[in-house]
Amino acid sequence: MKHSWRVFIVIELLMLLFVLYKVVNETQALIFLIFGIVNIIFAIKRKRKSSFSQFQLIMGVVISLMSLLTSGPVIWFMLVFAILFFGLVGVETSGLSVLEHLDLVPWKDKQMINVETVEPAVKNGKKFKRQLFGNQRIGSSVFEWDDINLLIISGDTIIDLGNTILPKEDNVVLIRKGFGRTRIIVPMGIGIMVEHTTLSGKLVFEEKSFNLKNEAIKIFSDDYDGNVRRIKLVTNTLLGDVEVVRI
């Protein structure tokens, strides 16, 4: 039993070192980790405890954990390995046989999901959550069009509009983002207007590149005025590039 604990601790420490190495080499994750640690230190060192210090401590812990969780898959391997280890140790100490309960594990079940069409859904009062951290892709499956409004703190984002049909009107995609690269994929035959504001970054549109430093730019595609289907892309970023690609 002691030997298995030593192996577990050594493996977890090695994976933790790799996670820290990834964080150090990723500027965005490192900035958030330092910000979270500084908040934790200030909250702990405050002699007078208040609701603000408690909030500062919780915020520091959450930001630090999120920066580690978005640094790569290794941190998730650490969590999975820990769950498996404690689960197996718990079964072993309780005297139960693992093989007798293998039919309960979820990965033995197989499933197949076919996406063929999307039925119109009720839009009024619909609630949904957006991911604030990490890389994400929107539009990887067929979906009914609705205007897109995103708030993202950090990470790379891909918005693929090739799996939907835009209505014959002005459609809007609004993106407010802190750090990271954004790529928007628009089908051919759609008029595009891009209004981009950034502290520092590059906009790539219609095979042209615009380097911006605390500036805003508004440009139109050549077919915008005469096109029936049009889309307005409004993006606001602190640091990061925005690319609009036609397919």
pLDDT digits (tens, 9 = 90+) for 146-192: 788 888 888 888 888 887 778 887 889 999 988 889 999 998 889 99
Asked, for residue 171, whether it belongs to a domain, the answer is yes
What is the tally of structural domains in the chain? 2
Q: Report if residue 74 sits inside a domain.
A: yes
Of residues 167 and 24, which shows the higher confidence score? 167
Question: How far apart are alpha carbons 218 and 226 in whole angstroms?
Answer: 18
Is 80 exceeded by the pLDDT of residue 134?
A: no
pLDDT interval class at 109 (50, 70, 90): very low
Q: Are residues 182 and 98 in the same domain?
A: no
One domain, residues 172 and 216: yes
DSSP-assigned letters across all residues of 36-94: HHHHHHHHHH-SS--HHHHHHHHHHHHHHHHHHHTS-THHHHHHHHHHHHHHHHHHHHH
Range of the domain at 24: 2-108
12, part of any domain: yes
Mean pLDDT value across the chain: 76
Mean pLDDT of 25-49: 80
Give, for 27, the enclosing helix (H) or strand (E).
helix 27-45
For tokens 């039925």, name the residue: 119
The domain boundary residue, chosen from 93, 108, 123: 108
95 and 142 co-located in one domain: no
Residues 86 and 141 in one domain: no
Question: pLDDT above 70 covers what percent of the chain?
Answer: 72
Question: How far is 246 from 234, CA to CA, in rounded Å?
Answer: 17
- Confidence label for 113 from pLDDT (cuts 50, 70 and 90): very low
Q: Are 100 and 169 members of one domain?
A: no
Residue 104 counted as domain residue: yes
Would you state the pLDDT for residue 90? 52
Query: According to the per-residue pLDDT averaged within each range, which of 48-52, 169-173, 243-247 is highest?
Result: 243-247
Of 32, 52, 33, residue with least CA distance to 43: 52
Q: Are residues 100 and 171 in the same domain?
A: no
The structure's pTM equals 0.47
Residue 34 φ then ψ, to 5° = -65, -40
Cα-Cα end-to-end distance for the chain: 58
Taking 50 as the threshold, does the pLDDT of residue 53 lie above it?
A: yes
pLDDT recorded at residue 245: 92
Question: Helix, strand or coil for residue 24?
Answer: helix
Shared domain check, 87 and 154 = no
Task: Give me the pLDDT at residue 205, please.
Answer: 93
Give the pLDDT band (50/70/90) at residue 209.
very high
Judge whether residue 92 has pLDDT over 70: no
CA distance 167 to 117: 17
